[in-house]
């Protein structure tokens, strides 16, 4: 592993948003998952969970022989509060955590309030990006089937195919048909960076997607650019950022605060009662590319989780709650994190919730999500950094006028707006 992911024994120090449904490599890949693995795997899981699981006192007394697969057994161990622990293919997980590498089409989707399935993000290496597809395009058809006639699972099944034909439509009603093959994608975690002069103020905008080992250089480059452009305000777009490395979380917080709190506590990590000796605090560390902003506007949704929430919570004791301004909808609610336990004999990664996280003021436990200061629906119709995109525009208006815009009915938070449901490794990378 690169030094960017904090390593502690055989555990990677992470705080990821993911479900536990990716089958490990030695399990049956059929739908019924009927083939069982060696009991040694179950013993290894039991030992890891008993020692490190945050809620280890609440582990049920169950028999592995009652479950058809390792995944089913692991799911049965989890407490009801735990939406995140998982097991995974070790090779695939490490490839993603190190480099943001996975195989797919390199984009992600979300339904808008009109139930249209739109591109919510697209990576630079996507074969569809090369054809001009950007965030905001509607997916009309896939493999000659209209999206309106397909269930979520049916769409997922089509996206799982190694090659597909897509029909997209932009906001002008223009359609484009593209045939593409899945390929290895190196995810760019910085989706957009720019500085705009808005009514006399230079505003930096950063859309950041994942806290990966490969993110360190990208974040340094972004803040060096903000310095070159003499940016005065920062809008940080974390609306789909489900987390990742706490090391990178610390880095981002230090870049934002300009090193003036170097050595002060950024976060505190607390383990289960049998592991209190593992508890520790993490301080802000030197960031050569740090620029420093007095306040930050953060765009969030229910997809903003874990290491993203850690940045928000970690900045508040230093910038003040009034200077960490949230726009959009309340965050996911994951004030806990995971270690990755490597089991190479089985090509298995065990990733249980292993600790809780607070800020310097011992504030945490935001399981219900962090509420926003200005609630507004996710504007899927425009690309990241478009000044007419309603969430970015709300921040710009506050910067220029000191108040948020009046929310129209069309832009109010919609109960019909929903995420495009995925599971397993696709949920981790939040892309297809």
Out of 33, 66, 99, pick the residue that ends a domain.
99
> In the chain, what percentage of residues exceed pLDDT 90?
78
310 in the same domain as 164: no
Q: Using CA atoms, how far apart are residues 95 and 258, in angstroms rounded to an integer? A: 31
- Using DSSP's 3-state secondary structure scheme, residue 265 falls into strand
Is the pLDDT confidence value at 423 over 60? Answer: no
Largest CA distance in the chain: 68
According to the model, what pLDDT value does residue 94 have? 87
231 in the same domain as 362: yes
pTM of the model: 0.88
Query: Does 125 fall in a domain?
Result: yes
Residue 417 pLDDT grade (very low, low, confident, very high; cuts 50, 70, 90): low
Q: Using CA atoms, how far apart are residues 33 and 27, in angstroms rounded to an integer? A: 7
CATH number (domain holding residue 304): 3.90.226.10
CA distances to 69, 218, 220, 249, 425 from 215, in Å: 35, 5, 9, 10, 19
Is the pLDDT confidence value at 424 over 50? Answer: no
Query: Does 177 fall in a domain?
Result: yes
Q: Using CA atoms, how far apart are residues 178 and 337, in angstroms rounded to an integer? A: 40
CB 225 within 8 A of CB 193: yes
Please name the residues in contact with 365: beta carbons below 8 A apart, sequence gap of 6 or more. Answer: 335, 356, 358
153 in the same domain as 211: no
For Cα atoms 70, 90, 56, give the angle at the middle one, nearest 5 degrees.
55
- Mean pLDDT computed over 294-306: 96
- Using DSSP's 3-state secondary structure scheme, residue 342 falls into strand
Query: Does 2 fall in a domain?
Result: no
Helices 39-52 and 70-77: angle between axes, nearest 10 degrees: 20
Residue 97 pLDDT grade (very low, low, confident, very high; cuts 50, 70, 90): confident
Is the pLDDT confidence value at 89 over 50? Answer: yes
Q: What is the 3-state secondary structure (H, E, C) of 182-248?
A: CEEEECCCEEEEEEEEECCEEEEEEEECCECCCHHHHHHHHHHHHHHCCCCEEEEECCCCCEEEHHH
Is the pLDDT confidence value at 30 over 60? Answer: no
387 in the same domain as 257: yes
Integer-rounded Cα radius of gyration of the chain: 22
198 in the same domain as 66: no
According to the model, what pLDDT value does residue 29 have? 34
Q: Using CA atoms, how far apart are residues 43 and 40, in angstroms rounded to an integer? A: 5
Query: Does 113 fall in a domain?
Result: yes
Query: Does 352 fall in a domain?
Result: no
Residues 211-262: pLDDT tens digits? 988 899 999 999 999 999 999 999 999 999 999 889 999 999 999 999 999 9
CB 33 within 8 A of CB 73: no
194 in the same domain as 181: no
According to the model, what pLDDT value does residue 191 have? 97
Nearest to 213 by CA among 163, 257, 251: 251
**For the residues of 97-124, what is the DSSP string, one character each?**
HHH-EEEE-SEEEEE-TTS-EEEEEE-T
Q: Using CA atoms, how far apart are residues 83 and 71, in angstroms rounded to an integer? A: 14
Q: Using CA atoms, how far apart are residues 416 and 74, in angstroms rounded to an integer? A: 32
Residues 372-385: pLDDT tens digits? 999 999 999 999 99
286 in the same domain as 153: no
Residue 413 pLDDT grade (very low, low, confident, very high; cuts 50, 70, 90): low
Query: Does 120 fall in a domain?
Result: yes
Residues 137-191: pLDDT tens digits? 999 999 999 999 999 989 989 999 999 999 999 999 999 999 999 999 999 999 9
According to the model, what pLDDT value does residue 100 have? 76
According to the model, what pLDDT value does residue 347 have? 94
Is the pLDDT confidence value at 23 over 80? Answer: no
Q: Using CA atoms, how far apart are residues 14 and 281, in angstroms rounded to an integer? A: 15
Out of 99, 126, 148, pick the residue that ends a domain.
99
Domain that holds residue 72: 7-99
Looking at every residue in the chain, the average pLDDT score rounds to 88
According to the model, what pLDDT value does residue 113 have? 87
234 in the same domain as 176: no
> Position of tokens 């504030």?
363
CATH number (domain holding residue 141): 2.30.42.10
According to the model, what pLDDT value does residue 429 have? 61
According to the model, what pLDDT value does residue 31 have? 38
Q: Using CA atoms, how far apart are residues 216 and 318, in angstroms rounded to an integer? A: 22
According to the model, what pLDDT value does residue 15 have? 45
Phi-psi region of 142 (alpha: psi -120 to 50; beta: other; left: phi over 0): beta
Query: Alpha-carbon dihedral of residues 334, 121, 108, 373, nearest 10 degrees?
Result: 30
Q: Using CA atoms, how far apart are residues 126 and 106, in angstroms rounded to an integer? A: 4
Out of 50, 80, 99, pick the residue that ends a domain.
99
231 in the same domain as 325: yes
Query: Does 349 fall in a domain?
Result: no
According to the model, what pLDDT value does residue 382 have? 96
Query: Does 206 fall in a domain?
Result: yes
373 in the same domain as 293: yes
Is the pLDDT confidence value at 99 over 80? Answer: no
According to the model, what pLDDT value does residue 34 have? 40
Residues 34-75: pLDDT tens digits? 444 555 899 999 999 999 999 999 999 999 999 999 999 999
Residue with more model confidence, 31 or 197: 197
Number of domains in the chain: 3
According to the model, what pLDDT value does residue 73 have? 97
CB 369 within 8 A of CB 304: no
299 in the same domain as 206: yes
Supply the DSSP symbol for 141.
E
According to the model, what pLDDT value does residue 412 have? 63
- Mean pLDDT computed over 105-128: 94
110 in the same domain as 52: no
């Amino acid at each position: 592993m690169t030094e960017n992911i904090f390593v502690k024994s055989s555990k990677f120090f992470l705080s990821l948003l993911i479900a536990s449904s990716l089958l490990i490599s030695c399990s049956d890949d059929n739908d019924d998952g009927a083939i069982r693995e060696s009991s040694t795997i179950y013993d290894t899981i039991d030992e890891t969970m008993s020692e490190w699981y945050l809620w280890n006192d609440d582990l049920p007394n169950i028999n592995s022989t009652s479950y058809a697969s390792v995944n089913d057994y692991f799911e049965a161990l989890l407490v009801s509060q735990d939406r995140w622990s998982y097991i995974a293919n070790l090779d695939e997980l490490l490839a993603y955590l190190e480099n943001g590498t996975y195989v797919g089409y390199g984009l992600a989707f979300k339904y808008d309030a009109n139930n249209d399935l739109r591109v919510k993000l697209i990576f630079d290496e996507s074969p569809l990006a090369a054809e001009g597809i950007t965030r905001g395009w509607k997916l009309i058809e896939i493999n000659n089937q209209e999206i309106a006639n397909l269930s979520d699972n049916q769409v997922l099944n089509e996206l799982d195919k190694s090659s597909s034909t897509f029909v997209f439509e932009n906001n002008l009603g223009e359609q484009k048909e593209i045939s593409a093959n899945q390929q290895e994608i190196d995810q760019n975690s910085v989706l957009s960076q720019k500085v705009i002069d808005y009514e006399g103020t230079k505003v930096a905008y950063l859309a950041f997607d994942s806290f990966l080992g490969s993110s360190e250089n990208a974040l340094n480059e972004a803040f060096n650019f903000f310095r070159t452009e003499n940016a005065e305000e920062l809008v940080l777009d974390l609306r789909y950022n489900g987390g990742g490395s706490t090391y990178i979380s610390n880095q981002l917080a230090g870049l934002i605060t300009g090193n003036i709190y170097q050595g002060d506590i950024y976060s505190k990590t607390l383990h289960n009662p049998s592991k209190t000796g593992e508890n520790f605090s993490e301080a802000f560390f030197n960031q050569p590319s740090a620029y420093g902003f007095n306040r930050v506007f953060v765009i969030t949704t229910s997809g903003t989780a874990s290491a993203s929430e850690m940045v928000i919570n970690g900045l508040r004791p230093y910038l003040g709650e009034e200077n960490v301004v949230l726009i959009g909808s309340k965050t996911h609610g994951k004030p806990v994190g995971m270690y990755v336990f490597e089991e190479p004999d089985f090509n298995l990664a065990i990733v249980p919730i292993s600790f809780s996280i607070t800020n310097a003021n011992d504030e945490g436990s935001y399981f219900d999500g962090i509420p926003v200061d200005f609630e507004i629906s996710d504007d899927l119709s425009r690309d990241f950094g478009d000044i007419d995109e309603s969430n970015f525009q709300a921040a710009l208006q506050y910067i220029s006028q000191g108040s948020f815009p009046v929310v129209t009915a069309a832009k109010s938070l919609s109960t019909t707006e929903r995420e495009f449901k995925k599971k397993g490794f696709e949920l981790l990378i939040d892309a297809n």
